[in-house]
Amino acid sequence: MSVVKSPLSETDLKTVGTALQGALVDLVDLALVAKQVHWNVVGPRFRSVHLQLDEVVDTARLHSDTVAERAAALGVNPDGRAATVATGSAVGSVPEGWIKDADAVRILVTSLGAVITRMRERVEVTGDPDPVSQDILIGLTADLEKHSWMFQAESA
């Protein structure tokens, strides 16, 4: 039961709700993975990678809140619980222990790439049913692509 009446049709709400929920899961997990790597990165580029990881965490957390609140505004219950994130995320796992700076960069390039691919799919499917949600997804994808570019430049 939804206590919020959606302005979207049932079909459009299902499409947009699925896209927003998927985005939320990926963003929550991206923030967790980036923070885990942040705590365990070592190596000569420690400081620059460490700080760059915090920027990814901040971006993912900011956008996850925006995405969750958009879902709620449409009458879709956002679900950021650990079990939901663990089963639905595109972000890969992080190795246990210390992570060399070059490996940290590779992990983030891979993680961001997976999330960006799914975000671009979500941008496509939300265009017709809800341009407002699409706009949110476009903005967050642009921010993630900027982070991806910066991490890729680290590995060149």
Report the C-alpha gap between 120 and 35 in whole angstroms. 24
pLDDT at 1 > cutoff 80: no
User: Could you tell me the pTM of the whole model?
Assistant: 0.95
Instruction: State mean pLDDT over 1-30.
Output: 93
Could you list the beta-strand ranges (E) of 7-154: 41-42, 99-100
Report the C-alpha gap between 100 and 44 in whole angstroms. 9
Q: Is 49 in contact with 137 (CB distance < 8 Å)?
A: no
Q: Alpha helices of the chain — where are they, by DSSP H?
A: 10-40, 46-73, 82-88, 101-126, 131-154
40 Cβ neighbours under 8 A, 6+ residues apart: 97, 98, 99
HSE-CB for 105 with a 13 A CA cutoff: 17
pLDDT at 6 > cutoff 60: yes
42 φ, ψ (degrees, to nearest 5):
-140, 160
Neighbour-count burial for 107-126, b at 16+ CB within 10 Å, e otherwise: bbbebbbbbbebbeebbebb
Q: What is the pLDDT of residues 71-112, one digit of tens each?
A: 999 999 999 999 999 999 989 889 999 999 999 999 999 999
Report the C-alpha gap between 118 and 116 in whole angstroms. 5
Q: What is the pLDDT of residue 154?
A: 86
Would you state the structure tokens that stand for residue 142, as one six-digit string? 């642009």
pLDDT band (50, 70, 90) for residue 156: confident
Match 């671009």 to its residue by tokens: 120
